[in-house]
A and B are shown apart, each in its own frame.
Chain A
Amino acid sequence: MKRRFPLLLVFFFGLLGIIPYFVPHGGYQDFDNALRNDFIRILSAFAIILGLVSLLRVHQDKIKRKRENWQYSYVLIIGFVVSGAIGLFGGIEGELFLPTKIAGFQFDIQTLYLNIIVPLGATMFALLAFFMASASYRAFRARSLESSLLLSAAFIIMIGVLPLADSISSHLPSFAQWIMDIPNVAAKRGITFGIALGGIATSLKIILGIERSWLGGKE
């Protein structure tokens, strides 16, 4: 029963999930929206508590066992407690009772988010440029026929989009565009077909209870 009940639930809700694609009736669509949005939101609220407990436990353990770079765990825990207190008692923009502005220094959640989280995220994103350069270097080394083709295609496209391309050959920009529009799109569509069919097959396997790896395997 321990495994049959989740399987029955999956079968029932799986079928409920398919129906709205074919039933446009407002009543059913509203029910489906409530299921997808409200129900999942309520479930997520409970899961967030579990998630946060997990996060704190991992870092508490790290401090206790003095694992590598354990000091940073204090930063996380202090940040967690402080931002939690500010958010709960100070509000998003300082509209609650906790003061979030002292001597011109503002520290409400919105300000903290815009001035700490957003720049930190942008910093990580900026690193992508360097990773791209190192990955490109590795990919474009002409060691095999495939990588040589990749290198040639990349070279043509990079040159083709430059203003300089027209002066080299009037056909170069259109050839670069052809590579993007025809072979590139053809490959993408092929993958998309596979993904769509694979998605249906996976859903079917799960709804029918054939795929049970998510339950930890067969009974």
Chain B
Amino acid sequence: MIYILFSGIFALAPPTGVKAYDTPNDRGDAITVEWLLSPDDNMIEGYEIYRSEKGKEYELVGFIGAGRTTYEDQTETGTEYTYKVAALYDSERSYSEPSPVARSEPQWFDKESVNLLIGVIVFCLIILYFIDQARRGKRLQIRKISGLDAVDEAVGRATEMGRPILYSMGIGLVDYIATIASFNILGEIAKKTGQYETPLIVPTSNPVVYTVAREIVKESYSTIGRPDLFDTDKVYFVTDSQFAYAAAVDGVMLREKPAANFFIGYFKAESLIMAETGASTGAIQIAGTDQITQLPFFVTACDFTLIGEELYAASAYISKEPLLLGAIKGEDLGKIVILSVLVVASLVGLLTKFPVLNIFR
């Protein structure tokens, strides 16, 4: 009785001002629908979005909870649509007026990424400037990275002991930036081991990574004039299974007893399993990864750890190539710029907390 009385006097107010427009900065397959909340928004269940294609019947395409005023609809590129939004309460619906016609079109440039593009261009220009400075013969000093200074010591130790060196690139795929950085370091280490005729063992966990690693070691030996040192059985594919790879590398460390272990690349939970096993064999261990969660494990179990960007700087640091050092110098300046922006932004943010300094709001 109460319900009949209530429904008799209650007329659900529809949402108003419905407009539909091509979703900006997308591939051209979405239309954004916007509306003003129904005056009964606080009691309704939500809004149903209806779509009509070229004057055909409206069909339900989505539902969104109360209090929300936008909906992104996936559409066909170039097709014209009109939309209605219905406020839903129990099984009652109150429909809005239809929106004007909208059509989705693809965009050739993402305007929201302008700041990113400017940032990347500025950063690249800084790096190119320092590379140019290096090319002109300017001597560039970069900070000491003890983990990389230890590379010579590690290779020397392995040579003296007559034991091999193990180089693991982890479980990353070939397109991971850590794997690419690891390739660069592998090239330099292969040259150093080749000069001393120290065997270099490179077990890999991905067939593509294996193929590239094999070519790098081969080319590095050729570069120092010792192509004969390349042994196809020293650079090999093990498995792409994470823990099976860890077990295999552990096995190599325990059987071959390398004098130095390098864990450089992309690592996950297997990092500690391998680094601890290596530590138990008494090998000098140098690790480097951009996986923040694995860094503490390497710091704990290895003698030296390349943290974050040191991994990317390693190749330049080892080779002492002036152009590469120039790039590192540029990278450092980029960091200073970002750090300065952060400090200024933090200070401004802090100052807005004080009522006297409302000027910053």
Contact, CB under 8 Å: A57 / B233: yes
Tell me, yes or no, whether A211 is within 8 Å of chain B by CB. Answer: yes
| Chain B residues whose C-beta falls within 8 Å of the C-beta of A203 in the assembled complex | 177
Contact, CB under 8 Å: B220 / A198: no
A149–B301 Cα distance when bound, in Å, is 18
Tell me, yes or no, whether B334 is within 8 Å of chain A by CB. Answer: yes
Contacts A52-B237, A138-B301, A191-B308: A132 and B272 contacting too (C-beta < 8 A)? Answer: yes
Contact, CB under 8 Å: A117 / B327: no
| Chain B residues whose C-beta falls within 8 Å of the C-beta of A68 in the assembled complex | 255
Contact, CB under 8 Å: A204 / B327: yes
A172-213 Cβ-contact flags toward B at 8 Å (1 or 0): 000000000000000010011111011111111110001101
Using C-beta atoms within 8 Å of the partner chain, give the interface range for chain B: 35 or more
Segment with Cβ contacts to B, from A19-27, A88-96, A104-112, A162-170: A19-27
A193–B331 Cα distance when bound, in Å, is 11
Tell me, yes or no, whether B52 is within 8 Å of chain A by CB. Answer: no
Contact, CB under 8 Å: B188 / A213: yes
Task: Report B265 CB to chain A, min CB distance, Å.
Answer: 13
Contact with A24, one of B26, B220, B243, B300 (Cβ below 8 angstroms): B26
| Chain A residues whose C-beta falls within 8 Å of the C-beta of B338 in the assembled complex | 193, 197
Segment with Cβ contacts to A, from B4-12, B116-124, B147-155, B156-164: B116-124
| Chain B residues whose C-beta falls within 8 Å of the C-beta of A121 in the assembled complex | 241-244
Contact, CB under 8 Å: B244 / A124: yes
Contact, CB under 8 Å: A50 / B210: yes
Using C-beta atoms within 8 Å of the partner chain, give the interface range for chain A: 35 or more
Contact, CB under 8 Å: B233 / A217: no
Contact, CB under 8 Å: A213 / B187: yes
Tell me, yes or no, whether B185 is within 8 Å of chain A by CB. Answer: yes
A80–B210 Cα distance when bound, in Å, is 19
Task: Report B271 CB to chain A, min CB distance, Å.
Answer: 10
With CB as the reference atom, state the residue of chain A lying closest to B312. A198
Contacts A139-B300, A191-B307, A203-B177: A214 and B113 contacting too (C-beta < 8 A)? Answer: no
Contacts A47-B208, A213-B187: A54 and B232 contacting too (C-beta < 8 A)? Answer: yes
With CB as the reference atom, state the residue of chain A lying closest to B107. A24
Contact, CB under 8 Å: B309 / A198: yes
Contact, CB under 8 Å: B237 / A205: no
Contact, CB under 8 Å: A202 / B187: no
Contact, CB under 8 Å: A44 / B184: no
Tell me, yes or no, whether B219 is within 8 Å of chain A by CB. Answer: yes
Tell me, yes or no, whether B15 is within 8 Å of chain A by CB. Answer: no
| Chain A residues whose C-beta falls within 8 Å of the C-beta of B220 in the assembled complex | 216-217
A26–B297 Cα distance when bound, in Å, is 43
| A-B residue pairs in contact (CB < 8 Å), sample of 11 | A44-B208, A47-B208, A128-B272, A138-B300, A138-B301, A139-B300, A195-B290, A197-B335, A200-B123, A204-B124, A213-B186
Task: Give me 18 other A-B pairs in contact (C-beta within 8 A), A25-B107, A131-B276 excluded.
Answer: A23-B109, A44-B207, A49-B207, A123-B243, A124-B273, A132-B272, A135-B272, A192-B292, A194-B308, A197-B123, A197-B309, A199-B312, A201-B327, A202-B184, A204-B327, A211-B184, A211-B324, A213-B188
